[in-house]
Amino acid sequence: MSDDNVNAASAAKAEELKAEANALFSAKHYAEAIEKYTAAIEANPKVAVYYSNRSACYIKTEAYGYAIADANRAIEVDSTYTKGYYRRAIANMALTKFKDSLRDFRIVVKRAPADKDAKAKMIECEKIVRRVEFEKAIEHNETIRSVADTLDVEAVTVEDSYDGPRMNEETKTIDKEFLDQMIARLKDQKKIHKKYMFRIIMAVRNIMLESPSLIDIDIPENSKLTVCGDTHGQYYDLLHIFELNGYPSATHTYLFNGDFVDRGSFSLEVVLTLFAFKWLYPNSLYLARGNHETDNMNKIYGFEGEVKAKFSETMFKLFSETFNALPLAHVIKHKILVVHGGLFSKDDVTLDDIRNIDRLSQRQPGTEGLMCELLWSDPQPENGRGPSKRGVGTQFGPDVTKRFLEHNGLDMLIRSHEVKENGYVIEHDGKCVTVFSAPNYCDSVGNKGALINITSDMKLDYRTFDAVPHPDVRPMQYASQFGGMLGV
């Protein structure tokens, strides 16, 4: 139908579809709502609100690239439609495109000066932009050293009043008893001493600094490897994984495939527990960087605010420096590549190309290149490549996966990065598996979590599990002003 030729019947049908879509959106059935808004747009493509409402659905499903495209279309259809600018501002903020977001928030506030919500978000955005610019300015100051280099951990005093687990002061290391007591204490929403926190983080940072960007993992006979996807600050579900599937040991290795933090409000407990296991059993637990182990995401989605609330800015900076050192990929027995996001916008990328990424100098992944795509890309059902629904990275089809695997002598790709109803999905002719380990994501999605157990003879066993109760702390508790808008 021509944009200029919408008859009354089509316009009426479009309004009916919009009403159905609105009801689905209110019920949090976002995929179905997107279908209805799309049908409304097909019936009458000249109504800005249809695009804006579909943009809101895409924001809720983290498809921020699509959300921006729809907001742009709403503005093209009606440049006076203020909500289009608001949707675009929210989606750009989710992608940490702070200046673009601020530009739109200023338009919204100018047009709707009585809108307190928009004004509060604009002010928050202004603060973030100023802070980011300040951080970039001091980045080039050669006299600024890392927190790890300037922190004198041993000068920190453990007070007599501290009633938590204590490290052996002769060896300055942890043992299984300390780890068990730490887990029990964190489960009770208590802290361990900041001196021990610093030691654990510093120890893991040192391990990671010695690790390549791509790590080879073997599975000895009579052993198994468990691959877990996103855990997103859901500490009690992390503990449930260990209770269901066993704890790391000499014969049971774990690989946690990124996104340990953000969204869930027990992110510090999750990452601290994983770090402690890594220090105690360095060859029985592996950690990969996800797109949420990055500064800009932590500013928005809660981890920075959580660490500052529970400890200090110094503690967060030390976590940040450690995240910068996390490996980007793992290869299991030379046959299965495991990365957080996915594949690349070009063919002929080799494992050596991944291995040679200078992640320590690059630090943050940026918005293009191999490091970015490893953390951000997603599979698509169609052959070829497409623009990312997220607005960062790329989407890659079955043919892209097949060529990459054949080029590198691999059998399969395992990745995470996306919530799945049953915790995992097998696609691309069985060659691409998504595993997601945060059940009932953000306390609202209702999905199962999943993990993959792999034996020494490379047999894969998929295990799903439900969420368990946790203390009454809402997701995104420590997030910025935008947290509520960016929750699922």
DSSP assignment letter at 29: -
138, 164, 180 — which closes off a domain? 138
Same structural domain, 368 and 439: yes
Tell me the pLDDT of the chain (488 aa) as tens digits: 444 567 999 999 999 999 999 999 999 899 999 999 999 999 999 999 999 999 999 999 989 999 999 999 999 999 999 999 999 999 998 888 889 999 999 999 999 999 998 898 899 889 888 888 877 776 665 556 789 999 999 999 999 999 999 999 999 999 999 999 999 999 999 999 999 999 999 999 999 999 999 999 999 999 999 999 999 999 999 999 999 999 999 999 999 999 999 999 999 999 999 999 999 999 999 999 999 999 989 988 999 999 999 999 999 999 999 999 999 999 999 999 999 999 999 999 999 999 999 999 999 998 899 999 999 999 999 999 999 999 999 999 999 999 999 999 999 999 999 999 999 999 999 999 999 999 999 998 999 999 999 999 999 999 999 999 999 999 999 987 655 555 55
Looking at the fold, whether 130 and 158 belong to one and the same domain comes out as no
377 shares a domain with 284: yes
For residues 119 and 175, state if they share a domain. no
- Does residue 145 lie in a domain region? no
Q: Are 89 and 121 in contact (CB under 8 A)?
A: yes
Is residue 2 domain-resident?
no
CATH number assigned to the domain comprising residue 23? 1.25.40.10
The tally of CA atoms less than 13 A away on the side-chain side of residue 225 is: 26
CA distance linking residue 420 with residue 313, whole number of Å: 34
Domain of residue 349, CATH code: 3.60.21.10
Tell me: do 131 and 100 sit in the same domain: yes
Kindly state the helix (H) or strand (E) to which residue 461 belongs, with its residue range: strand 460-465
Helix (H, G, I), strand (E, B) or coil at 120: helix
- The answer to whether position 95 is within a domain reads yes
The DSSP 8-state label assigned to residue 448 in this structure reads P
d(CA 199, CA 154): 9
The 8-class DSSP code of residue 455 comes to E
**By C-alpha distance, which of 417, 442, 215 is closest to 333?**
215
Domain range spanning residue 415? 154-486
Same domain, 110 and 162: no
Q: Which residues pair with 390 in a beta bridge?
A: none
Catalytic residues: 292
Q: Based on the domain organization, do 294 and 207 belong to the same domain?
A: yes
Same domain, 25 and 103: yes
User: Is 236 in the same domain as 368?
Assistant: yes
CA proximity to 109, closest of 122, 93, 127: 122
Two structure tokens written together for 66: 């699509």
Residue 224 pairs with which residues in a beta bridge? 252, 455
Asked whether residue 63 is domain-assigned, the answer is yes
How far is 485 from 488, CA to CA, in rounded Å? 8
Residues 129 and 247 placed together within one structural domain of the fold = no
* The two three-digit tokens of residue 443, written as one number: 């306390």
Looking at the fold, whether 104 and 166 belong to one and the same domain comes out as no
Q: What element of type H or E holds 169?
A: none
Residues 427 and 394 in one domain: yes
- The first and second tokens of residue 288, run together, are 């990969």
Structural domain total, the chain: 2
Q: pLDDT at position 3, please?
A: 47
